[in-house]
Amino acid sequence: MSVNVGSNAPDFTLTNQDRQPVTLSSERGHPVVLAFFPAAFSSVCTKELCTLGDDFAPLRGAKAQVFGISVDTPFALKAFHSEQKLPFPLLSDFNKEVIRDYGVYNEDMIGLKGIAKRAVFVLDKEGVVRYREVLDDARSEPNYLKVVETVAALG
């Protein structure tokens, strides 16, 4: 299944880096950025999440909630979150349900089977997808400017 611009974002409940449940539908009322990434501690993922963290001020100004999502365990995400001092939660899709629901399941990336593709979804206050970017090459980074512009336009 693929989630496209204009569709309702599938709801989910995932565990964050502090092993607390986070439910997407409870975030209604403000924009949400879902940043799917292949693996904690990898170079491009680190750069992506740190860039989103650096660009967090305009996202925060628009009252957007950012979530990083990968199939890493909450324990690995806790270490990654702490090391990088990220200003937003990381969510564990260890059971690979959400990456399937959003159409970002990567069958095989250099021998790593069943991880997330690098992808970004921006949701409006009602949970409707307003921006979608799914990258087939994990070495590529999302268009951060488009993410920030889309969130700003939702304000």
Banded pLDDT at 56 (limits 50, 70, 90)? low
Residue 1 has a pLDDT of: 62
- Amino acid identity, position 91: L
pLDDT (tens digit, 9 = 90+) per residue, 16-37?
999 999 999 999 999 999 999 9
Catalytic residues: 45
User: Residue 124 has what pLDDT?
Assistant: 96
Q: Can you name the residues that pair with 133 across neighbouring β-strands?
A: 120
Q: Is 29 left (phi over 0), alpha (psi -120 to 50) or beta?
A: left
**pLDDT digits 0-9 by tens, 70-124:** 999 999 999 999 999 999 999 999 999 999 999 999 887 777 778 899 999 999 9
Task: Say how many CA atoms lie within 13 Å of 43 toward its Cβ.
Answer: 2
- Is the pLDDT at 5 greater than 80? The verdict is yes
Q: Which residue has the higher pLDDT, 58 or 8?
A: 8
